[in-house]
């Protein structure tokens, strides 16, 4: 999700690793608006869900099918349970009036829904994360009035919006540090050709690059104790894997071996001992994350990559993505998609299940098209 693949570009030589220090950014490049318009669509692949026909792309032969994963039998996503759980869930939903994606909050049982953005707001909102006290949200938006997405924060009632990062290029996928002092995010600067991982103080000072390689590094998320972060990374068109690194960007370690498949959208358990993620590793390898043949399921593993197990077992033309843990560690919310065909329209919503994959339910009352759930860290 992670993001879908970035727009194709010429192969760029391996980047030189930079010193981890603040840098002043160059100005906007003329063609960057076009690049960012394309990259913005990576967050919103579900627009394809509402198309009348989904174009199914051919799979590439990237090697053998990944080995079976040991662990408990997958749960039954179709078996509906009684809604409920602690805290709140922030999610995205396309505004049918403007076509923009807006931020919403709802209780896990579907009660107390809130739209955080004005109904006539033309700006896009995405990549939200909660502050550790549950009182604020960080997010990415192009609300500044240009094609660039930057990082902002606001109160959970939609008030007091303020900028944290304003830069050329694009900034996405924020993650608020447990101590409330920093925001981790992915960025594509005007002088870059891949996504990299950055950190910045909550007041916008001391912005630094933490991970900068020739791979696409995306969707960073802090560990609950703030000593590490997880992220997805991979070479374009060759799959992605889950990595963890120290808080300063050192000691990066790969936890999965994708063999051409995709492991993406890592999410830490509240106690920091496990990581949930989405993967199509049970399918033949695919280089296109948006094809129905790349069917996604939710997996969990220990923080060192051991004891990997598949939690879900969806049906053909379904995909389960973007897991997020409840604050008590007993449930996982995720995106549920059915892809469009010639005969049936597509659909997306948010579902919740127990951490063993059982007792799955759809959050009641959500409008069609809800995506990217993020559970609050406190009840």
Could you read off the pLDDT of 293-326 as tens digits, one per residue?
568 999 999 999 999 999 999 888 889 999 999 9
Pair of tokens at residue 292: 């129905």
If you ran DSSP here, which 8-state letter would residue 36 be given? H
Q: Across the chain, what does the average pLDDT equal?
A: 80
pLDDT tens sequence across 238-280: 889 999 999 999 999 999 987 778 999 999 999 999 999 999 9
Q: Can you tell me whether residue 35 is helix, strand or coil?
A: helix
CB of 159 closer than 8 Å to CB of 153:
no
Given this model, what pLDDT does residue 147 score?
Answer: 72
pLDDT at 188 over 60: yes
Distances (CA, A) of 298 to 86, 169, 220: 21, 31, 18
Distances (CA, A) of 46 to 54, 68, 73, 97, 288: 11, 29, 29, 17, 14
Task: Please classify residue 81 by burial: count the beta carbons closer than 10 Å to its beta carbon, then call 0-12 exposed, 13-18 middle and 19+ buried.
Answer: middle
pLDDT tens sequence across 31-75: 434 444 444 434 333 333 223 222 322 222 233 333 344 444 444
Domains of the chain by start residue, with CATH: 32-375 (2.120.10.30)
With CA atoms as reference, report the closest residue to 111 among 374, 365, 378, 379: 365
Q: Give the integer Cα–Cα distance in Å for 47 and 25.
A: 32
pLDDT at 341 over 50: yes
Pure H helices in 202-347: none
Q: What percent of the chain has pLDDT over 90?
A: 55
Q: Give the integer Cα–Cα distance in Å for 193 and 8.
A: 10
Q: Can you tell me whether residue 124 is helix, strand or coil?
A: coil
Given this model, what pLDDT does residue 358 score?
Answer: 95
Segment of 4-13, 74-83, 359-368 carrying the highest mean pLDDT = 359-368
Q: What confidence category does residue 164 fall into, taking pLDDT thresholds of 50, 70 and 90?
A: very high
pTM for the full predicted model? 0.78
Distances (CA, A) of 43 to 80, 216, 265: 28, 15, 12
Given this model, what pLDDT does residue 216 score?
Answer: 94
What are the b/e assignments for 325-358, b being 16+ CB within 10 Å? bbbeeebbbbbbbbbbeeeeebbbbbbbbebbbe
Beta bridge partners of 104: 91, 115
Gyration radius of the chain over CA positions: 19
Given this model, what pLDDT does residue 201 score?
Answer: 96
Given this model, what pLDDT does residue 239 score?
Answer: 87
Q: Is 186 or 47 the better-scoring residue by pLDDT?
A: 186
Given this model, what pLDDT does residue 290 score?
Answer: 55
Task: Please classify residue 109 by burial: count the beta carbons closer than 10 Å to its beta carbon, then call 0-12 exposed, 13-18 middle and 19+ buried.
Answer: middle
| Mean pLDDT across 319-339 | 95
Given this model, what pLDDT does residue 316 score?
Answer: 82
Q: What confidence category does residue 10 fall into, taking pLDDT thresholds of 50, 70 and 90?
A: very low
Lowest-pLDDT range of 26-40, 92-106, 119-133, 346-360: 26-40
Given this model, what pLDDT does residue 48 score?
Answer: 35
What are the b/e assignments for 195-222, b being 16+ CB within 10 Å? bbbbbbebeeeebbbbbbeebbbbbbbb
Beta-carbon contacts of 165 under 8 Å, excluding residues fewer than 6 positions away, are 150, 151, 171, 183, 185, 187, 200, 204, 207
Task: Please classify residue 277 by burial: count the beta carbons closer than 10 Å to its beta carbon, then call 0-12 exposed, 13-18 middle and 19+ buried.
Answer: buried
| Mean pLDDT across 104-110 | 96
What is the residue whose two structure tokens read 């039998």? Answer: 73
With CA atoms as reference, report the closest residue to 130 among 111, 144, 116, 109: 116
Q: Is 293 or 218 the better-scoring residue by pLDDT?
A: 218
Residue 100 has a CB neighbour count (10 Å cut-off) of: 20
| Mean pLDDT across 154-160 | 95
pLDDT at 18 over 50: no
pLDDT at 368 over 60: yes
Pair of tokens at residue 19: 């010193």
CB of 263 closer than 8 Å to CB of 244:
no
Pair of tokens at residue 310: 């598949």
């Amino acid at each position: 999700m992670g993001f879908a693949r970035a727009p194709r570009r010429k192969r760029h030589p391996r980047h030189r690793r930079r010193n981890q220090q603040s840098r002043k950014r160059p100005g906007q490049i003329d063609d960057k608006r076009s690049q960012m318009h394309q990259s913005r669509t990576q967050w919103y692949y579900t627009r394809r869900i509402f198309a009348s026909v989904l174009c199914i792309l051919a799979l590439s032969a990237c090697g053998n099918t990944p080995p079976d994963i040991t662990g408990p039998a997958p749960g039954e996503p179709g078996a509906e349970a009684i809604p409920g759980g602690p805290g709140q869930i922030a999610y995205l939903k396309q505004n049918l009036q403007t076509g923009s994606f807006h931020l919403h909050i709802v209780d896990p049982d579907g009660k107390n829904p809130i739209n955080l953005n004005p109904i006539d707001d033309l700006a896009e909102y995405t990549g939200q994360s909660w502050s550790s006290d549950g009182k604020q949200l960080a997010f990415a938006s192009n609300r500044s009035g240009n094609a660039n997405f930057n990082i902002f924060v606001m109160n959970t009632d939609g008030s007091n919006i303020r900028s944290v990062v304003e830069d050329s290029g694009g900034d996405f996928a924020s993650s608020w540090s447990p101590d409330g002092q920093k925001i981790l995010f992915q960025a594509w600067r005007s002088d870059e050709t891949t996504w990299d991982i950055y950190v910045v103080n909550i007041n916008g000072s001391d912005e630094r690059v933490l991970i900068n390689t020739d791979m696409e590094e995306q969707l960073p998320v802090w560990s609950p104790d703030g000593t590490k972060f997880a992220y997805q990374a991979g070479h374009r068109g060759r799959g992605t894997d889950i990595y963890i690194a120290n808080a300063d960007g050192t000691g990066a370690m790969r936890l999965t071996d994708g063999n051409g498949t995709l492991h993406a959208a890592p999410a830490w358990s509240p106690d920091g001992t496990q990581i949930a993620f989405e993967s199509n590793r049970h399918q033949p390898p695919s280089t296109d994350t948006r094809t129905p043949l790349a069917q996604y399921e939710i997996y969990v593993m220990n923080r060192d990559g051991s004891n990997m197990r598949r939690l879900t077992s969806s049906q053909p033309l379904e995909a389960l993505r973007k897991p997020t843990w409840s604050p008590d560690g007993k449930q996982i919310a995720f995106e549920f998609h059915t892809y469009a065909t010639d005969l049936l329209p597509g659909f997306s919503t948010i579902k919740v299940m127990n951490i063993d994959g059982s007792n799955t339910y759809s959050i009641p009352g959500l409008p069609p098209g809800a995506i990217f759930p993020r559970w609050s860290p406190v009840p």
